[in-house]
Structure 1
Amino acid sequence: MPFSIAPMEDAEPVIVGGLQATIVWRKNNRARRVALRIDPQAGRIVITLPPRGSRQAGLALLRGHESWVAERLASLPPALVIADGNEIPVFGQPHRIVHDRGTRGGAAIETPVIRVSGHPDFLARRVRDMLRDLAFREFSAMARHMAAQFRARPAAVRIKDTHTRWGSCTADGTMMFSWRLIMAPRFVQDYVVAHETAHLRHMNHGPDFWTLVETLTPYRAEATSWLHREGPGLLRIS
């Protein structure tokens, strides 16, 4: 279950492994211990503190794992901005962003191009909105099709911009997918949607769950390998 984040959140610079980095401090009233992770999208260190946790405890945890943190930060792919002339993947295929001020209609895919109209200040937002809409249509249809194979149905499908999950499914059958998943190849999408759809029947990762996943998709091993290798790059697109 995702953390419940209280209002306190701020950032400060820090030197890790001889390199300049940023810590984001978060206070989580449900946390029982200090937690450390890397936000691959923003390229920052996130330290979550329980109600009585101190920043000194957070820094001690960071220093105890400094080599690991420095290695993870150094291994992050370069950040890529959604901008005119840059390329981003859609269904795993590169698409060049082309700003066409003289047209209307927001953003549209004309493979291998994403054509974007309007004022350049709104280009990135228009591209993201278009990809979110595409993700909703694609993943909703896939989830309904897969769920029908074992007489289930998602209660709802939501598209979000998550930093740590490609998808999730709640106990009431609400499914969530990262909009960035639309940039991955179709076989990766197939696996992630199958994984979350299987949770409509099994809210665990037991043997029956994995058996159902493998009846819904043949791509488990291939897709998990791709996400481990290439997924951080998708998180660096903004």
Structure 2
Amino acid sequence: MDFAYTVQRSGKRRKLTIVVERDRTVVVHAPMGATDEAIRQVVEAKRHWIFEKRKDPRKYRDLPHPPGKELVNGESALYLGRQYRVEVVAAGLDAVQFNQRFLVPASKVAKRKMALREWYIARANEKILPRVSSFARSLGVEFQRARIVDNRYRWGSCTIKDSVNFNWRLIKAPTFVIDYVIAHELAHLIEANHTARFWNVVRAQVPKVEEARVWLREQGQALEEEV
């Protein structure tokens, strides 16, 4: 086999699924009783699909993560799909504020990689998590816990314990993209795999599914900039 893969077993899992992460790593999620040989056979059968996923230039890149921008006057930063001007304030602020532009204390400029990070994470908790609860009610599903997390290679995830996690960087994306990721992860509480039924559930909640997927493929790397 021309690629490596890791196996994650769980006693709660009934089906074997293969995930190609955004960094091209291959992860096999398997039931506890699945043997190494059975897993190898499934991976081999999906060999062509895995290769196609790993070489997809729209979603998987060999480029390093963007270095981020300088926090200087006239620069801009993403928030909910739009670029907003950055203004460095000499005095009177001790934390980043937003008022149709980012107001950044001059004292934070030297730590530019962290200057907006805390603000983004706070906004993600404030704006994304309530939408998770709203979509869950609409879908008629229950989750154990919803969290905002720091994950480079996934926008969202649904765990075997029915918890859902969302990448804080999503707060930089348009609302319809955020809603797509939320609906996608919650739909896994109804259908574990990406079946026709699964996509019907997602599309019933978010009509702009295809637009959101295209946006993430084409613009997703911009969300990974430090600023």
For the criterion TM > 0.5, the same-fold answer is yes
The equivalent residue for 2:142 is 153
Cα distance in 2 for residues equivalent to 1:169 and 1:145: 17
Q: 1:115 to 1:221 in 2, by over 3 A?
A: same
Separation of aligned partners in 1, 2:89 and 2:164: 35
Of Structure 1 and Structure 2, the greater strand share is in 1
- The answer on whether the counterparts of 1:190 and 1:219 sit within 8 Å (CA) in structure 2 is no
Matching residue of 1:83: 71
> Deviations for 1:156-192, whole angstroms, at most 9, x for unmatched residues?
2222222211111112221111111111111111111
Structure 1 residue 37: Cα displacement: 8.3
Equivalent position of 1:233 in the other structure: 222
**Residue equivalent to 1:119:** 107
Alpha-carbon distance in 2 for matches of 1:80, 1:114 = 16
Partners of 2:22 and 2:154 within 8 A in 1: no
Measured in 1, the distance between the counterparts of 2:183 and 2:7 equals 30
Identify if the C-alpha distance between structure 1 residues 72 and 172 changes in structure 2 by more than 3 Å, giving closer, same or farther.
Answer: closer
1:218 maps to what in 2? 207
| Cα displacement (A) at 1:73 | 3.7
Does structure 1 conserve the Cα–Cα contact (< 8 Å) formed by 2:79 and 2:172? yes
The 5 A counterparts of 1:84-233 are 84-85=72-73, 86-111=75-100, 113-117=101-105, 119-120=107-108, 121-233=110-222
- Cα distance in 2 for partners of 1:130, 1:200 equals 30
- Aligned partner of 1:226: which letter? W
Q: Is the 8 A contact 2:65 2:224 kept in 1?
A: no
CA pair 29-189 structure 1, distance change in 2 beyond 3 A = closer
Instruction: Tell me the alpha carbon deviations over residues 53-104 of structure 1, each in whole angstroms, 9 at most, x when there is no partner.
Output: xxxxxxxxxxxx9xx9xx9446x78532352332111011111222213123
| 1:29 Cα offset (Å) | 8.0
> What is aligned with 2:42?
none
- Quick one: distance in 1 between partners of 2:141 and 2:206? 16
Is the CA contact (8 Å cut-off) linking 1:169 and 1:175 kept in structure 2?
Answer: yes
Structure 1 unmatched ranges of 5 or more: 1-27, 40-44, 47-64
TM-score after normalising by structure 2: 0.68
Mapped to 1, the partners of 2:115 and 2:66 lie a distance apart of 22
Q: How far apart, CA to CA, are the structure 1 residues paired with 2:6 and 2:66?
A: 34
Cα distance in 1 for partners of 2:201, 2:143 equals: 16
Other-structure match for 2:16? none
TM-score, normalised relative to structure 1:
0.65
1:123 Cα deviation from its structure 2 partner: 4.7
Higher RCO (CA < 8 A, seq sep 6+): 2
Alignment check: 8 A CA contact 1:107 1:127 kept: yes
**Residues 136, 157 of structure 1: 8 Å contact kept:** no
Equivalent pairs counted in the alignment come to 182
Residue pair 2:113, 2:226 contacting (<8 A) in 1 also = no
Report if aligned partners of 1:180, 1:235 keep a CA contact under 8 Å in 2: yes
* SS of residue paired to 2:116: helix
Letter in 2 for 1:230: Q
What percent identity do the matched residue pairs reach? 27
